[in-house]
Amino acid sequence: MQRGIRRFSDDSVQMNMKLWPFRVIEGPGDKPLIVVTDKSVEKQFSAADISSMILVKMREVAEAYLGSEVKNAVITVPAYFNDAQRQATKVSGVNTGLKVMRILNEPTAAAIAYGIEKKAGSAAIKAYLRGGKEFCKGINPDEAIAYGAAVQAAVLNGGANLIGKLQEFTLLDVTPLSLGLETTKYHFMSVVIPRNTRIPVKKKKIFVTSSDNQVVARFSIYEGESETTLNNNFLCEFEIEDILPGPAGETKFEVFFDIDENGILTLCAEDTSTGQKKGITIHSERRTYEGIETVM
C-alpha cells in the first residue's frame, strides 16, 4: 500500500497498476482508490484506508501475543517518502487509535537491528536501492525492519526498562531530500535544509522583495536535488500580503523550516518590517495542503 500513497496520475502508480491483482480507479483530487467486491457489493478504499486496516490487524496480533493493550506505535516508511506521504502514514495510525511515536525510515530501522546485534567495534552498513525497493546487505529483510522499529519504540518509551545496549543507543535520522524555496523568475531552487541533514532540525533563511513597491510575497516550497524547481517536487505555497511599499530588496523576510522527529515539515515566514507572520501545515494524504493561518 505504500506505493498507493501517491497521485493516481503518478508514473509509478500507473506502472504498478499493471502488476497489482486488484483494480484501481481515479478518485477525487487525483487520489487512487482500490476497488473491492464484498458479497456482491463494490467498495472503494484509499491507500490510507487500507493502511489503517493493516494497522488495526497488527495491533490485534500484538495485543494477543502480549496479553495487554497496545497504545503506541513506531511506523516505518520507505526512505523516499516525501512529507505528504509521511503525514498520510501518521494519519493512518492516528485513525486506528494509536499514538504514533515516530515515523521511521525503513533502511534506518534495518540499520538499528544490525547495530544492536553486532559485536563491539566499528563497522560500515551498506544500503542499496534497486528496482524501487530498498534492501540491506547481510540483513534479513523479513525481520530487520520490524526489529529496528521495536528497538526504537523501546528507546522512545525510555525509563528504567532499558537494559543492555539500549541504554547507550542513540538514533540520528536524516531528511531524505533537500528542502527550499523557489526564487527569481528563472525557477531557481534556494536550498534551506540540504538532504541528509540530521533531524529534528530548524533552520532560518533571509529573503527579500524582488521588485519595487511589491505588496505581496509568495513562498513556493519544493523538495529535490535539482538546481531548478521545474525538476523538483512542489510541496506547497503561501503568501504574506500588505507589504510596506519600497524599493526592491528593502523588505526582508525570515523564513523558518522546522522538521520534527517524524520528518514532517512546518513552515513560517515573518515580514521583519511589520512583524506579520504566516505559517502552513500539510494535512492532506496527497501533495496538496490546507490550513494557511495567520500566526500573529
Question: What is the model's pLDDT at position 290?
Answer: 35
Question: What is the model's pLDDT at position 154?
Answer: 84
Residues of the chain with pLDDT under 70: 1-6, 117-139, 142, 159-171, 281-296
Question: What is the model's pLDDT at position 109?
Answer: 86
Domains of the chain plus CATH, in order, are: 71-171 (3.30.420.40), 179-294 (2.60.34.10)
Question: What is the model's pLDDT at position 27?
Answer: 85
Question: What contacts 24+ positions apart, CB below 8 Å, involve 65-74?
Answer: 70/98, 71/97, 71/98, 71/99, 72/98, 72/99, 72/100, 72/101, 72/153, 72/157, 73/98, 73/99, 73/100, 73/101, 73/153, 74/100, 74/101, 74/102, 74/104, 74/149, 74/150, 74/152, 74/153, 74/156
**Of residues 169, 76, 75, the one with CA closest to residue 117:** 169
CB 207 within 8 A of CB 240: no
